[in-house]
């Protein structure tokens, strides 16, 4: 599947316009602040219903725009076509449409177009707090499973109810009802994450050997609740302490993973450059896992080669060539074959 065309209006600084794309590579270039990243963001909103830069939809509106609309069409090698549209206004909130049918929830809409986003500051996945890594894994799994996205949404809903009950110092009988449902969902989430992790880990090893060939690098998953622990019993034992603090301390919402470089945590002992290369290996491994599952990814890259040396830059483009559709944004176009688009003050034109 590849994105064949997109039309936007009222989105960030982008002028109202429509564009047609090359199924292999699309190079978006122009001055800083012209709107290159905004185009990548619009593609992400079309694909998933959400931006990679903010969760505040109001921030996506253009200056004085009453609403934004993003529509697009995707095609397959067998000439099958899909259409989708995302509409938002502060009064009506957000609406999702797929093949002319309105989709009630983002969790049911997201993932119809398998995009993998590569950002220049992706090193936060390596060096940042655990929430970034959990989001990385959850989004990766959800791209391959709508059921997982729903499961995660339901877990968060139940967790919020339990936390509210803890703050009210609810009784054991009432908490037991929520504990049972939370434990059921936690077991499903753990199983899906670990199944994905087994496949993902192998792809990460391959990618990390390419970008950091002189080092031993590996991943280690850090579950907050161990495999031999009964989560329902963990919740029961923790109730009194959690009533004091008002939230649930244990569960998959506290899972993490780490990267070990020569047996030491890369987050602590790695250099800035090693963080960048490891983050790139993570993103490429996620795309490779999607590809192995039968979903040809769409690569959205926001100047990720800006801080790479020539060897790693060539390696990056060699790895993604022929594996999926590429959208690459930078101030200056890289030496990659593909359709070129120049961006200036929100107006995008093919060159």
Backbone angles phi, psi at 280, to 5 degrees: -65, -40
d(CA 177, CA 54) in angstroms, rounded, equals: 35
- The model's pLDDT over 141-181, given as tens digits with 9 standing for 90+, comes to 998 988 999 999 999 999 999 999 999 999 999 999 999 99
Structural element, H or E, at residue 119: strand 115-119
The reply to whether 173 falls in a domain is yes
Tell me whether residue 121 is in a domain: no
pLDDT at 305: 84
**In DSSP terms, which residues pair with 118 in a beta bridge?**
301
Q: Identify the domain containing residue 141 by its residue range.
A: 126-295
Q: Which residues of the chain have pLDDT under 70?
A: none
- Does residue 275 belong to any structural domain of this protein? yes
Whether the predicted model's global pTM rises above the 0.85 cut: yes
- Distance, CA of 16 to CA of 69 (rounded, Å): 9
Mark whether 276 and 242 lie in a shared domain. yes
Does one domain contain both 173 and 262? yes
Q: Does 120 fall in a domain?
A: no
Q: 50: which 2 tokens?
A: 């959400």
Residues 140, 279, single domain; the answer is yes
Residue 314 belongs to some domain of the structure: yes
Q: Tell me which residue has tokens 């099958």.
A: 80
Which of 150, 55, 49 shows the shortest CA–CA distance to 98? 49
Check residue 119 and give its pLDDT: 85
pLDDT score of 141: 95
C-alpha 48 chain-centroid distance: 9
Which CATH number covers residue 96?
A: 3.40.50.300
Check which CATH number belongs to the domain holding 137 and give it.
Answer: 1.20.1050.90
With the C-alpha atoms ordered 215, 264, 305, 328, is the resulting torsion angle positive or negative?
A: positive
Q: Output the pLDDT for position 190.
A: 96
| Assigned domain for 349 exists | yes
- Residues 14, 46: one domain? yes
Q: What percentage of the chain's residues is helix, strand, coil (to nearest 5)?
A: 45, 25, 30
Same domain membership, residue 270 and residue 147 = yes
What integer pLDDT is reported at residue 193 of this predicted model?
97
pLDDT score at 320: 85
């Amino acid at each position: 599947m590849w994105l064949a065309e997109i039309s936007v209006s009222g989105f960030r600084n982008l002028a109202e316009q429509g564009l047609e794309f090359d199924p292999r590579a699309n190079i978006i270039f122009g001055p800083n602040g012209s709107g290159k990243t905004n185009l990548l963001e619009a593609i992400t909103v079309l694909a998933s219903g959400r931006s990679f830069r903010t969760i505040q939809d109001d921030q996506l509106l253009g200056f004085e725009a009453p609403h934004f609309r993003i529509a697009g069409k995707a095609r397959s090698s067998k000439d099958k076509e899909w259409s989708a549209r995302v509409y938002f206004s502060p009064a009506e909130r957000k609406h999702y449409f797929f093949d002319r049918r309105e989709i009630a929830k983002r969790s049911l809409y997201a993932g119809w177009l398998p995009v993998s986003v590569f950002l220049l500051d992706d090193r936060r996945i390596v060096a940042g707090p655990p929430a970034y890594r959990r989001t990385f894994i959850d989004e990766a799994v959800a791209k391959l499973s709508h059921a997982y996205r729903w499961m995660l949404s339901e877990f968060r809903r139940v967790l919020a109810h339990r936390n509210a009950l803890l703050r009210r110092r609810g009784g054991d009988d009432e908490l037991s009802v929520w504990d049972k449902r939370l434990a059921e969902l936690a077991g499903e989430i753990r199983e899906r994450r670990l199944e994905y992790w087994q496949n993902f880990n192998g792809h990460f090893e391959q990618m990390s050997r390419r970008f950091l060939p002189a080092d031993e690098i590996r991943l280690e998953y850090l579950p907050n609740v161990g495999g031999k622990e009964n989560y329902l019993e963990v919740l029961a034992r923790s109730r009194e302490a959690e009533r004091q603090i008002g939230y649930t301390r244990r569960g998959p919402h506290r899972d993490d993973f780490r990267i070990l470089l020569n047996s030491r945590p890369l987050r602590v002992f790695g250099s800035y450059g090693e963080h960048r290369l490891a983050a790139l290996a993570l993103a490429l491994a996620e795309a490779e896992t999607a590809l192995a599952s039968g979903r040809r990814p769409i690569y959205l890259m926001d100047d990720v080669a800006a801080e790479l040396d020539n060897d790693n830059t060539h390696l990056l483009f060699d790895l993604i060539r022929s594996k999926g559709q590429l959208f690459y944004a930078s101030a200056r176009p890289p030496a990659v074959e593909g359709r070129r688009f120049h961006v200036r003050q929100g107006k995008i034109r093919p060159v």
